[in-house]
Amino acid sequence: MSGSLWVWLSAFLTLCIFSFLYKDNPFYRFAEHLFVGTSAGYLIALSWHNTVYPNLYVPLIKEHQYLYILPLMLGLIYLTRFIPKFSNLIRIPIAFLLGWGSGVVIPAEIQTDVIKQIQGTLLTRGMFTRWDNALWSLIILIGVIATLVYFFFSRERKGVLKPISSVGVIFIMLGFGASFGYTVMARISLLIGRLQFLLGDWLHLIK
Amino acid sequence: MNLGERISKIPRQIIYLFMAAAIVFPLIVPIGMPINVMPQTKKLVDKIEALPPDSKPVLISCDFDPQSMPELYPMLQAALNHLLSKNIKVLVMALWPQGAGMGEMALGEIAPVLNKKYGEDYVFLGYKAGAAAVILGLGDKIVNVFPADYYNKPLASFPLTESLTNYNDLSMVLTLSAGTPGYREWLAYGQSKFGVPVGAGVTAVSAADAYPYLGSGQLIGLFAGMKGAAEYETALIKGGYKLLFHQAIKAMDAQSLGHLFIMIFIIIGNVGFFIMRRKK
């Protein structure tokens, strides 16, 4: 068994959390509250040391770059949310953030998630050099079109739209199935990680 | 009480016990189930493998926290092991605050054992807030985003980083991503805008969402979850590399048995459901 106090503490807290699998109990609640409190404190300290201190305190206070008063003011105006008389001012930093965010995000997202994805769906001559590539490309094209038809709500699903949208449902279900399978895999992986810690670092039963 | 009702009334604690046994047993007594290297993993391994020893540095971004360690930390260890063994220079950074701790820990475990020198073979840049601004800024001038490394030493003082300007001086970016910011930000602001090749290691939860980017060629390869990490480790062992850690391979028996039990329980649950429905 481990001789480290921290390993024992981690093992105890892990077992406290696992005890919820039997039923809710004070040990679980203690570990849960401790985790929430520690995380909040840790994140505040991290935000100060990694964000506020190097990006605002150092340039403004230590290097006397007074232009940094502007972002400081914008940040402080966010707090007017708590003063009803001045709460309208919060629109200024929100407008700034929305303007900057939209300018940066919209072109990048369109490029990444629309244009390049459409390009990836298009059939090109090169895809037909191998039969398996051609087959998968066709399946992807059919899947994309059928799924889009399923989400086309401007017309009633009858006539030609009905069978196409039914094919779309099959592709959507396949997508959900893949997501569910991967989610199960992720959760099992996390459990394995904790059990490797308990059996290895704590009990020394495995290397 | 018929069979269907009996099945529906199995206490959930019994199912948990079976699951725990299915996972603990192969961890203590490994079965050694075979691990197949999937095409998406092979693609990324081959891309890294194709880099010559004197190639431009690889930037690894640790975009995860301790909650995703079982899945992404083995990938980080394997990638550092792979790159440094090939004498490829490495820059490590993080878009998640806790990712910096992960990066520092992995470098501490791997680099000294492989006799790599800080500043010459690898540099740790640490965490920087504001993912979009960071990724866009790196495309302009790396030193503007990271004037100093994690330990506050100027980048200009290291042989590895003194002449680095932007993505043109990097071979590729490998992001180990547990969510946002992560591989999608690297694609949107790094790959789309600057054309830097991006490979990703993702948690299994986000793997299904990452596949379309692999199909469209935006990602040069993908490690998906702990299985992806195990495939990477397996590919490296097959390629003759001496791995310092292979935690993911050790976990694969447990992963497979865990999945088997879940499938069995899903089948039992459905059998119970259909028996009950027929009775009604």
Domain spans in chain B, listed from the N-terminal domain onward? 3-29+259-279, 39-245
Instruction: Assess: ipTM above 0.85.
Output: yes
The model's pLDDT over A99-154, given as tens digits with 9 standing for 90+, comes to 999 999 999 999 999 999 999 898 888 888 889 889 999 999 999 999 999 998 88
Contact B27 A116 (CB under 8 A): no
Percent of chain B clearing pLDDT 70 (strictly above): 100
pLDDT in tens, B251-269: 999 999 999 999 999 999 9
pTM: 0.92
Which of B13, B28, B191 is facing A21, going by the closest CB pair? B13
Q: B40, B36, B74: which is closest to B213 by C-alpha?
A: B40
Average per-residue pLDDT for chain A: 93
Predicted local confidence at residue B6, as pLDDT: 83
Say if A179 is an interface residue toward chain B (CB within 8 Å): yes
Which of B12, B28, B205 is the closest to A182 by Cβ?
B205
Q: Which residues of A touch B192 (CB under 8 A)?
A: 108, 111-112, 116
Q: Which two structure tokens, joined as six digits, stand for B116?
A: 């790599």
Contacts of A46 in chain B (CB under 8 A): 97-98
At residue B2, does pLDDT exceed 90? no
A23: confidence class by pLDDT, cuts 50, 70, 90: very high
Among the ranges given (A63-67, A79-83, B4-8, B257-261), the one the predictor scored with the smallest mean pLDDT = B4-8
Residues of A in contact with B13 (CB under 8 A): 21-22
Both tokens of A73, joined, read 């003011």
CA distances from B89 to B92, B118, B183 (A): 10, 10, 21
The CATH fold of domain B39-245: Rossmann fold (3.40.50)
pLDDT given for residue A157 in this prediction: 82
Residue B1 has pLDDT above 80, yes or no: no
Residue in A55, A117, A185 nearest the CB of B129: A55
Min CA distance, A186 vs chain B (Å)? 5
So where are chain A's domains?
Answer: 122-207
* Chain B CB contacts of A105 below 8 Å: 132, 188
Q: Write down the pLDDT at residue B40.
A: 96
Tell me B189's DSSP state: I
What is the DSSP secondary-structure string of chain A?
----HHHHHHHHHHHHHHGGGT---HHHHHHHHHHHHHHHHHHHHHHIIIIIIIIIIIIIIIS--GGGHHHHHHHHHGGGGG-GGGGGGGHHHHHHHHHHHHHHHHHHHIIIIIIHHHHHHS--GGGGGSHHHHHHHHHHHHHHHHHHHHT--SS-S-TTHHHHHHHHHHHHHHHHHHHHHHHHHHHHHHHHHHHHIIIIIIT-S--
Which of A104, A185, A206 is opposite residue B27, by nearest beta carbon?
Answer: A206
